[in-house]
């Protein structure tokens, strides 16, 4: 123990604070700002410097008490614009379009410059440009390092969100139903204020909608405003070279279908949740997903997704769009009051037609299995192998049995 010294320990403390506020301006605009602040206390300093004797970068680890800090500033303004059209006749009573535009800016000062000077200037060889090295880098075993931005950085962003809904007339004036055609359709991009080139980021579009809680639609696409040459992005805007604003880079679309039978004995389950503390602990934090719900007679889901990406050929002479498809389906069905079966999640990827692993699970309530652990068994047929395993789990008086069948 006498050989140990305080220099053998690596210690670090990180403090974080966040100042923020929100205001309403001119009745219709919402202004918010945030100033996050982080303070670092370290007992080691990994100092990098240029050695003029060896003409190389060298480093030294100093022991002591070292402090460093970083902070940034961000502000945003958004509002809402409403467009509405009402119809006196017909099944559709009206249509409403809501636009939510927003702009924002984020700024972080350069901590390698005065008055901070938390970075030193290194030069690998005299003829090469100078580069900034971070002196307040603690040992790799520590969790926190220090400021990460030696030069000033600022970015402005713009986003536009859309929502489209219609109102459908019912048999009575009080039976009108609001239906969302588009839950969200967003357009966003950003601009780096301090970059010397390629300041504008990709323009990203995202769409999401839901149809009667049965079909979920999501789509997205990214477009590049810069011109690509020989597989590399140039600093020239595409409009100046090809006379068009953007080029397609990537996109995706997914459709999800879900069908679920009405739950049985839901009131009894809710009452049990209120009165049973142990059940509450098991069901919290997503614990409900770990168990089969025998109150649901059936639950089936099917999803399809397609992605497209712009890819350059190996010689970078030209590009093409690579498209990939995938289909996933599964679900569960209650065979009897205490037996749930056909719980599966197989899938396939197109166009390769690669079938993923398919599993079929059978689950039973504790009363159907005797106490103890049942052994597993494996049957091998010429074209099919399946595995049956029965287990019992006992946790603080709570019993859960399950049987599992896997086809492979």
304, 326 Cβ separation under 8 angstroms: yes
Q: How far apart are CA 157 and CA 201, in angstroms?
A: 9
Q: Which pLDDT belongs to residue 270?
A: 63
CB contact burial 342-371 (16+ within 10 A = b; e otherwise): bbbbeeeeeeeeeeeeebbbbbbbbeebee
Q: Which pLDDT belongs to residue 252?
A: 95
Q: Which pLDDT belongs to residue 352?
A: 54
**Which residues on adjacent β-strands are paired with residue 62?**
45
> Domains of the chain: which residue ranges?
1-83+98-156, 357-408
Token pair, residue 127, equals 């003829």
Q: Which pLDDT belongs to residue 231?
A: 85
pTM for the complete prediction?
0.68
Token pair, residue 261, equals 């039978």
Q: Which pLDDT belongs to residue 43?
A: 80
Q: Which pLDDT belongs to residue 345?
A: 52
Those residues with Cβ within 8 angstroms of residue 345's Cβ, 6 or more apart along the chain or in another chain: 328, 329, 330, 358, 359
Helix, strand counts (H, E) of the chain: 3, 24
What ranges make up the beta strands (E) of 79-224? 81-86, 92-108, 120-122, 131-133, 153-168, 177-192, 203-211, 215-224
Q: Can you tell me which residue has the tokens 């059978």? A: 362
Sequential pLDDT tens for the chain (408 residues): 566 666 767 777 889 999 999 999 998 999 999 999 998 888 877 777 667 787 777 777 778 888 888 899 999 999 999 999 998 888 888 999 999 999 999 999 988 777 877 776 555 444 444 455 555 444 333 445 678 777 889 999 999 999 999 988 877 766 788 888 899 999 999 999 998 899 999 999 999 998 877 889 999 999 999 999 888 899 999 999 999 999 999 999 999 988 776 655 556 656 666 666 666 666 666 555 555 555 666 777 788 999 999 988 887 778 889 998 888 877 776 665 554 444 555 555 555 555 555 555 555 544 333 333 333 444 444 444 444 444 444 443 344 444 333 333
């Amino acid at each position: 123990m006498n050989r140990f010294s305080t220099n053998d320990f690596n210690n670090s403390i990180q403090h974080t604070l966040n100042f923020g506020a929100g205001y309403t301006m001119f009745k219709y605009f919402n202004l918010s700002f945030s100033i996050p602040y982080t303070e670092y206390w370290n007992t080691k300093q990994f100092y990098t410097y240029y050695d003029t004797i060896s003409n190389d970068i060298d480093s030294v680890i100093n022991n002591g008490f070292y402090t460093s800090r970083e902070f940034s500033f961000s502000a945003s303004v958004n509002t809402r614009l409403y467009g509405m059209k009402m119809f006196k006749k017909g099944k559709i009573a009206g249509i409403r379009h809501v636009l939510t535009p927003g702009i924002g800016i984020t700024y972080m000062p350069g901590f390698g410059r005065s008055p901070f000077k938390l970075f030193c200037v290194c030069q690998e060889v005299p003829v090469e440009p100078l580069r900034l090295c971070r002196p307040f880098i603690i040992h790799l075993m520590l969790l926190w390092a220090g400021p990460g931005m030696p030069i000033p950085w600022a970015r402005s962003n713009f986003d536009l969100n859309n929502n489209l809904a219609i109102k459908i007339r019912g048999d009575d004036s009080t039976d009108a139903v609001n239906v969302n055609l588009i839950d969200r359709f967003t357009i966003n991009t950003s601009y780096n204020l301090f970059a010397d080139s390629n300041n504008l980021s990709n323009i990203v579009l995202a769409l999401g909608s839901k149809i009667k809680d049965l079909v979920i639609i999501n789509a997205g696409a990214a477009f590049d405003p810069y011109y690509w040459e020989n597989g590399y992005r140039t600093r020239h805007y595409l409009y100046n070279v090809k006379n068009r604003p953007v080029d397609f880079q990537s996109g995706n679309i997914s459709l999800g279908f879900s069908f679920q039978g009405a739950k049985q004995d839901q009131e009894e389950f809710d009452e049990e949740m209120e009165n049973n503390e142990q059940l509450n602990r098991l069901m919290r934090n997503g614990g409900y997903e770990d168990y089969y719900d025998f109150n649901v007679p059936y639950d089936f889901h099917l999803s399809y997704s397609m992605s497209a990406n712009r890819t350059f050929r190996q010689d970078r002479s030209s590009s093409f769009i690579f498209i990939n498809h995938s289909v996933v389906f599964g679900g569960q069905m209650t065979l009897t009051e205490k037996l749930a079966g056909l719980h599966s999640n197989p899938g396939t990827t197109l166009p390769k037609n690669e079938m993923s692993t398919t599993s079929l699970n059978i689950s039973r309530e504790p009363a159907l299995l005797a106490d103890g652990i049942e052994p597993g068994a494996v049957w091998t047929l010429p074209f099919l192998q399946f595995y049956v395993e029965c287990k019992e789990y006992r946790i603080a008086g709570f019993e859960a049995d399950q049987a599992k069948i896997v086809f492979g």
